[in-house]
Every structure is written in C-alpha cells, then in structure tokens.
Structure 1
Amino acid sequence: MTETKPYDSAEHLDSDEAIAEYLAAAIEEGDAALFRHALGVVARARGMTQIAREAGLSRESLYRALSDEGNPSLDTALRVLGALNIRLTATVAPG
C-alpha cells in the first residue's frame, strides 16, 4: 500500500521569488477567494506571528481575515504583502 500525506503548498514557498510567482498565479485567476487563500498559505509559510507583527495586525485578526470565511480589506492585504516584501502592481490586460 502506498502511504500518502496531505500536500501543503506552504512547504514549497521557500524564496521571495516562489512566493511572488505563487501570488501572481492566484491573482491571474481573478478569484478573490483564491487570492485570499494564497495569501494565507504564504503568510503561514513565512510565519503568521511574524507577518502579523510586521503588518501591524494581531495574529488573531490576521488568521480571521485570511480564513475561508474571512474577507480581508484591501488595507489588510496590502499590509500583508508589504510584510512579505511583495509589491502589487497593475498592468494592461492582453486583448
């Protein structure tokens, strides 16, 4: 019998570049829930306590905002991105 374990994307986000690519792919999908989930995975990969501290948020409010039921404000998302050293940019969509 083959033994399996749950896949956790956070285990593979070990560089700033990997994190940026992961978040960019989530944004490309155009799904706010997917982006929120990806932001949560990245925050978990870096350490929720550290990200919360650097973003100026409580750990509990960060967990709540990035949970499946959460709906983080743009301010919260930008604070988390800043704590991750990720910059959100805008470009013209093709087509």
Structure 2
Amino acid sequence: MGTIKLRQWDSAEHLQTGADIVAYFDACLEEAGDDPAFIAHALGNIARARGMSQVARDAGLARESLYKALSGEGNPEFGTILKVMKALGLRLHATAA
C-alpha cells in the first residue's frame, strides 16, 4: 500500500463566496461561547481568504499587527475587531439567547 500524504486543514481555503464567509462566521460565533480568541482566529481565517494585505488596508491597520491580532493568540481590542469586520463586510447581529 502507498504512502498517504496529509496536510493540515485550512478553513481559509474553503471560504470562497460571501455566503460561505457568513455561514462560517455565524457558526464560529455560535461555537465560540465566551472565547474571544476563537472569534479573533475565525476573523483571521476570513481575512486570509480575502487577502490579509487588502483587509489591512481597508481596516487602516498594519498587515503584521493584523496577523498577530487575529492569530487566535493575540488579544485585539474590540475597536480592531469592528474595523476588521467592516473591512470584511460583516456586521454583528444580536438575538435572544
């Protein structure tokens, strides 16, 4: 039997349409609970799918700092999250729990 080559899953590779992005981000918000790093990482995946350099320009942020903030290990300010969401064309929506 031959060798099987595996590679790490990258969500960004599968976010190709606006509908894909909205469904992914909505699912991440649902799954994240109270984990802000999970949400930041999800936004990072979406930004990589759209092109991190362009998202950084649209958000008025440095690309390097955006990578760090959205890595899932960074701790971005809420204002940064809102700028990134606006650059990505996303809005938060509240519903009753």
So what's the TM-score if we normalise by structure 1?
0.90
Tell me, yes or no, if the aligned pair for 2:12 and 2:46 is still in contact at 8 Å: yes
Question: What is the correspondence of 1:6-85 to structure 2 with a 5 Å cutoff?
Answer: 6-29=8-31, 30=33, 31-85=35-89
Q: Distance in 1 between matches of 2:49 and 2:82?
A: 17
Q: Distance in 1 between matches of 2:14 and 2:73?
A: 25
Query: CA shift at 1:60, angstroms?
Result: 1.6
Query: CA shift at 1:67, angstroms?
Result: 2.1
Amino acid at match of 1:79: K
Query: CA offsets, 1:54-90, max 9 Å, x none?
Result: 0111112211211233111111111111111111111
Identity of aligned residues (%): 56
Segments of 4+ moved more than 2 angstroms: none
- Give 5+ residue unaligned stretches, structure 1: none
Q: CA RMSD in A?
A: 1.1
User: How many aligned positions are there?
Assistant: 93
Q: Distance in 1 between matches of 2:37 and 2:72?
A: 8
So what's the TM-score if we normalise by structure 2?
0.88
Tell me, yes or no, if the aligned pair for 2:37 and 2:73 is still in contact at 8 Å: no
